Structure 1
Amino acid sequence: MSYFVRSGGLLGFSEWVRDNGENPNMLMAEVGLSPAALYDSDLYIPYLALARLMTVSAQRCQREDFGIRLGMRQGLEAVGALGSAMCLQANLGDALRLMQRNLEFHARGVLIAVNQSERWLELSMDFAFATEEDCDQLAGLSLALLCRCLQQLQGVPSSPAALELRNGTAEPGVYRELFGCEPVVDARRNCLIYPIELLAEPVLVAADLRARLSQQWQSSRQRPERDLQQQLEKAITALLPTGECNLAMVARIVDLHPRVLQQRLAAQGSSFSALLESRRLRLAKEHLAHSDIDLTTLALNLGYAELAVFSRAFKRWQGVSPRAWRRQQHADRA
């Protein structure tokens, strides 16, 4: 089984490592990751390698708090186009649901459970490969990133009511400083707990953060049309599994009127539907080759109403069914 994740989780990694006197490229090489992942947040990297990188980096930098401090340096910018889409949601409940649907597709191997009671919202996190690799630093990174994203979506950031950790890697005072609550260490799970009212809070993102997020969709003067296509590809990739990948939403993310967007694509000899199909094919091949995702789930995550429609489209692209193509990929690697 292969587990993979977007390289956006490495946002700020180079700076944080250098702040601690180490070389990020050497640490990447030690765990078998290409330094290219530091410069392209939309690459897929092995999840186990990311877990090893966090563990090795904490050891080399002599920072037990390496993962959680990196996560707190990140936030919505680390999740790319998804961050911009979350900012467009009406409330934090909608933003959380959008993020959860995305993670299940673009972060194969993370297990997030959302439990609600009359008073509490519990966001627990685990990893499917936790028995294969030390995930303590990775868990710290992931919990901190989740906490930071929720804080950025709130007009007045609030702290979780409680933090539970299966294996705390830092001193309790570090968790109090970063999460704003008393940690429970040696718990049975990794979990953030909030008052249930959090779900109904409106999304109110600070103006400076909105400006930073929108900068990633600004085309350069040197190659504006090529930049636009790359921006659209990133937005489509992020939004496909959320059920909100349509022309209107993508246009909002890149700050263009849908009609203007279509006109600019037509001038390049392309269209929104052509880009959509291209990204669907790339993602389909990525998941068929490197994960055991069932075909119906894959079809739905790619925005198809049913498996039969996806199968017909894939056979049109590749000449064979997705099931046959997956078998061939596995046979070639055997």
Structure 2
Amino acid sequence: MKHFVRAGSLLGYPEQVRRYGHNPTELLQRVGFRPSVLHDPDLYIPYEHLAELLEITAATCQAPDFGLQLGVRQGLEAVGALGSALCLQRTVADAMTLMLKSVDFHARGVRIDTHLDPEWIELSMHFAFAREIACDQLTQLSMVLLTRGIEQLHGRPDRPALVCLVSPEPENVAAFEQGFGCKVMFGQNENRVRYPTAGLVVPVNVDPALGQRLGNQWRKNWQQSREVTLIQQVERAITALLPTGECNLDMVARLVSMHPRSLQHQLKEESSSFGEILKASRLRLACQHLEQSDISLTTLALNLGFSELAVFSRAFKQWTGSSPRAWRKAAS
């Protein structure tokens, strides 16, 4: 699994499929997904299989804009604890920077490039496997998810100035322009979205109801009402924050709505600690990336919050008795 993404990308998928009278479980199984992927948003799933699933679903439902429709249902809700962290940033630019750092780690196989000038900022999206697998539906989903998230951070309708898509022009252009809220150009050389630069420096202004909903969502079992344990909440927060450089006790405490001292005390009552959960999360993510991706060891070390590769290598060997390089070789 060289390329992977969080299962949170499937948020709303079953409901959307059922609207067309089809069985989402059957479609999931056609690409090798078990229904359980719908119950763990932090589970890594093969990116190529997600692209294939969306193409098959669009064809089955006879909905050429299925990815677009699914993306409109999502937004910050699809990114779990990261969504809550984005809401705590000072400006939209700060939130976008945080988001791009996390995407690079938790969505291996997509690259988002930024081009900034005094008037405009353009974000272009590239999938590493686009030449091997059709990615039109995945592109629709991902581009709408991006624009929807930015709109939610502004707290008001803030649509792009322009969206460009590689895919050929469909019959229902109006549906795309309604979904993105702007002119959409098809048959372009890359997938990109353009915003006025001035919109970056404005403060994050998330609707309080949205902020509450985001927190409630990832602090409960996905698609269920039962709240997960405090230790699980801390694990989810750490997983989201590690690649952003903002994974610390204070930030995690803010995400779980507790004072840092209260959080430490409560974890101690549960025979755990922030340091222990951080260590376990780093080890879990390190093993997953070493086994499933081609991420460089230096990049992995930095994304896990280590100052340099040597520090990560020493810690990993202390945890497992093996160096990261040897672990990857043994897993290949």
Q: What stretches of structure 1 of length at least 5 have no aligned partner?
A: none
Post-superposition CA distance 1:253-302 (Å, at most 9, x none): 01000000000111111110100000000000000001111111000000
Q: 2:210 — aligned with what?
A: 209
Distance 2:219 2:37 in 1: 22
Distance 1:24 1:68 in 2: 17
For residues 132-143 of structure 1, the aligned pairs below 5 Å read 132-143=132-143
> Does 1:64 pair with 2:86?
no
State the Cα distance separating 1:217 from its structure 2 match: 5.7
Q: 2:324 — aligned with what?
A: 322
The residue identity in structure 2 corresponding to 1:181 is C
Q: 2:195 — aligned with what?
A: 194
TM-score by length of 2: 0.96
Matched-pair contact (CA < 8 Å) for 1:137–1:169: no
Post-superposition CA distance 1:180-217 (Å, at most 9, x none): 11111101111110001111011101122112112136
> Does 1:307 pair with 2:309?
yes
Post-superposition CA distance 1:90-141 (Å, at most 9, x none): 1110000000000000000001001101211101101001011000100000
SS at 1:255 equivalent: coil
Q: 1:178 — aligned with what?
A: 179
Q: What stretches of structure 2 of length at least 5 have no aligned partner?
A: none
The residue identity in structure 1 corresponding to 2:280 is S
Distance 1:36 1:209 in 2: 26
Deviates more, 1:209-218 or 1:29-38: 209-218
The residue identity in structure 2 corresponding to 1:303 is G
Q: 2:108 — aligned with what?
A: 108
State the Cα distance separating 1:169 from its structure 2 match: 6.5
For residues 145-156 of structure 1, the aligned pairs below 5 Å read 145-156=145-156
Matched-pair contact (CA < 8 Å) for 2:169–2:186: no
Identity level (%) = 53
Matched-pair contact (CA < 8 Å) for 1:114–1:121: yes
TM-score by length of 1: 0.95
Distance 1:313 1:52 in 2: 38
SS at 1:216 equivalent: helix
Distance 2:60 2:68 in 1: 16
Post-superposition CA distance 1:225-265 (Å, at most 9, x none): x6111111011000000000000000000100000000011
Q: 2:292 — aligned with what?
A: 290
Q: 2:229 — aligned with what?
A: 227
Q: 2:272 — aligned with what?
A: 270
Distance 1:290 1:28 in 2: 21
CA 1:169 to 1:37, structure 2 compared with 1: closer, same or farther past 3 Å?
A: farther
Distance 1:50 1:63 in 2: 17
The residue identity in structure 1 corresponding to 2:256 is V
SS at 1:16 equivalent: helix
Matched-pair contact (CA < 8 Å) for 1:84–1:253: yes
Matched-pair contact (CA < 8 Å) for 1:151–1:159: yes
Match among 256, 259, 269 for residue 258 of structure 2: 256
Q: 2:15 — aligned with what?
A: 15
